[in-house]
Amino acid sequence: MKYRKYLLFLLFVAASLLLIRPVTAEAAGGATMLPDESVLVNYEDESVEITVGENTKIFYSDSATAINWEVAPVVDGKAIFDFSWIKPSTTARIYIKGDKDSLVTARYIEAQEQLSIQFVGDLSAADVVDIDAWKQAYKAYDCFSNDTGYLLFFIKKAGAGTAFFSLDRIEWRKGETGKWRSFEELNFAEMNARGATLQFRVKAVNDEDTKDKKSGSRYSSVAKLNLQKISAAPVISINSAAMTLGIRNGMEYSLNQKDWFLVPVYVRTATGNQVSVPVSDFDILPSTNIRVTAISVPMVMQVTANTRIDKKLVEANPDRYICRRDDGGNITGVCVYVRMAASANKAASRMVEVILPFAKGKPDMKHDISVSYQQSKTGMSGVVLVNNTLSTEPVDYQYAIVENPYDMTPEELSSVKWSTLKAEKTVKVGSSKALPEHYLIFRTATAGRDELPSEFEIYPYPIRYDKVSFAAISTTSLYPGGEITAVTGNNAIYGEITYTWERSDVLTGAYTKITSGTGYEASKYTIQEGDIGYYIRVTISNVSSAGETAQATSKSTGKIAKDPTKQ
């Protein structure tokens, strides 16, 4: 009976021990090992923590067959030992056992991942794949923009490198001794204002924070970045006479400091001129194969080519422009902001504020300008322009010859070449420049750097050499009965030609129209007795195919005299 009670007591004790002791692996002969879940790697502190169970000592080594094992003391049921002595560049295996659980438990210490970093000024111009993924990753970080540039991270493990988009796992510090901070604390605008040396790494992940409690990871290697000081703002010139700003390839400009307009990057190669236009979030000017050195003011101000730049324009578009005002609140100019655009590896420069002055003068071409054609017997010669304003009250003009002024874009206006036509001056434009089917345009020139030239006026008729612009005469004699022949240029004259014969008794005096006689309305006129004592000339005119009236007057004959053979 006593033996049975003793056996029941032993069974009760054994059952109780099974209830309070974790299940452990047991080998033949009763040896057990620490369960996997009792071993946690803390990668932040570089230590291993073991829940010891019934063990009073924990042994560990990097060799399963080690003769001498390190001992980790047990405190409050836990044993902790450091593993910072393990090289981070290689994956290592740590072997652990207890004085009770004497079978060996193994745990891998993963090698650290290799982090690299790339700075790009313009994310869209970066020479990497997954641009959209980078844009998405940076949506949560307002302190990064095309103004400051971006950081691209890449991680490599076991020889394979991939983009690392988990920016929330990145931490940084300044220099070798700075405090490690989370990525969201990085004020990049502050950093690249003056330049800085920064270090980055991927945060460690502890086993405790993983789903299976054994898949943590070490800190990545440290990636270093020498962030260059942001470059100075460009120097921008205003050419008031040409109505252009000195904005060139590689720059961008803005009216509100938010929306930027890029001038494509110009690249010169051995085979010619090429333009590299990066894909961009911002509006891009049309591609061009020439070096851009200046841009027209209408293009910068986002108006049509022939818009008057004045206070009324600004007041009509209050949300478009930032203005300079005087102490009384009056608008004195329009602000334009210019900077060197970001590239794949360089942030945008500081920006400069340029004040555009308003246009003041207005053209009055019909009153001030005369246009005529000059030809020779052999063909077209050119166009003659006269500025009729007086030097006492001068209005200087500029003129240009363009193909289609009625549908000109601001970009085309940028390339127009203007020439000066000063008050009381005459300019002849040769036919090599005054091309057929082109148009003359005129605008008042700037009086100084404090104003822009006016909008332009269009001479309403295209340049066509189908008009009478040359007249000459030849005579058989200067006696009654003699024949005078009118000659005009040999261009294809359009429509009906009109001949008006005139005479005057003073060579340089007033001439009156001849209204009778043989040929007085034709190209040949026969001298009459009543013409004796007079000088005779002819005016030849027609209306061009465009509707422009033209005429030319010949030189005068000598004085008509009596035929001495008939006296």
| pLDDT tens column, 86-95 | 999 888 999 9
Q: Does pLDDT of 21 surpass 60?
A: no
The answer to whether residue 247 is domain-embedded is: yes
The answer to whether residue 465 is domain-embedded is: no
Which of 57, 86, 109 corresponds to the end of one domain? 109
The answer to whether residue 272 is domain-embedded is: yes
pLDDT of residue 410: 84
Do 242 and 349 fall within a single domain? yes
Q: What are the φ and ψ backbone dihedral angles of 463, each rounded to 5 degrees?
A: -70, 115
The answer to whether residue 464 is domain-embedded is: no
Span 215-236, average pLDDT: 92
Query: What is the residue-wise DSSP string for 470-504?
Result: -EEEEES-SSTT-EEEEEE-SS---S--EEEEEEE
Q: Which of 97, 87, 33 is nearest to 60 (CA)?
A: 97
Span 502-506, average pLDDT: 97
The Cα–Cα gap between 168 and 202 comes to: 9
Lowest-pLDDT choice from 8-17, 210-219, 357-366: 8-17
The answer to whether residue 232 is domain-embedded is: no
Do 124 and 220 fall within a single domain? yes
Coil, strand or helix: which one is 364? coil
Lowest-pLDDT choice from 32-36, 395-399, 449-453, 537-541: 449-453
pLDDT in tens, 385-443: 999 999 898 999 999 999 999 988 887 887 888 999 999 999 999 999 999 999 999 99
Do 323 and 412 fall within a single domain? no
Question: Residue 160: which pLDDT band, with cuts at 50, 70 and 90?
Answer: confident
Question: Residue 203: which pLDDT band, with cuts at 50, 70 and 90?
Answer: very high
pLDDT of residue 271: 56
Do 340 and 243 fall within a single domain? yes
Question: Residue 7: which pLDDT band, with cuts at 50, 70 and 90?
Answer: very low
pLDDT of residue 2: 45
Query: Residue 306 has which token pair?
Result: 């022939």
Q: Is residue 413 exposed (0-12), middle (13-18) or buried (19+ Cβ within 10 Å)? A: buried
The answer to whether residue 13 is domain-embedded is: yes
The Cα–Cα gap between 283 and 289 comes to: 18
The answer to whether residue 555 is domain-embedded is: yes
Question: Residue 151: which pLDDT band, with cuts at 50, 70 and 90?
Answer: very high
pLDDT in tens, 336-374: 999 999 888 888 999 999 998 888 888 999 999 999 988
The answer to whether residue 463 is domain-embedded is: no
Do 254 and 349 fall within a single domain? yes
Query: How many domains is the chain partitioned into structurally?
Result: 5
Q: Which of 456, 448, 446 is nearest to 396 (CA)?
A: 446
Do 58 and 165 fall within a single domain? no
Question: Residue 333: which pLDDT band, with cuts at 50, 70 and 90?
Answer: confident
Q: Does pLDDT of 284 surpass 70?
A: no
Which of 40, 74, 109 corresponds to the end of one domain? 109
Span 140-157, average pLDDT: 89
Mean pLDDT of the chain, nearest integer: 86
Span 154-163, average pLDDT: 82
The Cα–Cα gap between 471 and 137 comes to: 78
Span 50-63, average pLDDT: 94
Instruction: Check if the beta carbon of residue 475 is closer than 8 Å to that of residue 491.
Output: no
Highest mean pLDDT: which range of 135-139, 282-286, 446-450: 135-139
Do 130 and 207 fall within a single domain? yes
70: domain range? 2-109
pLDDT of residue 289: 57
Residues 6+ apart with CB under 8 A from 493: 466, 467, 468, 542
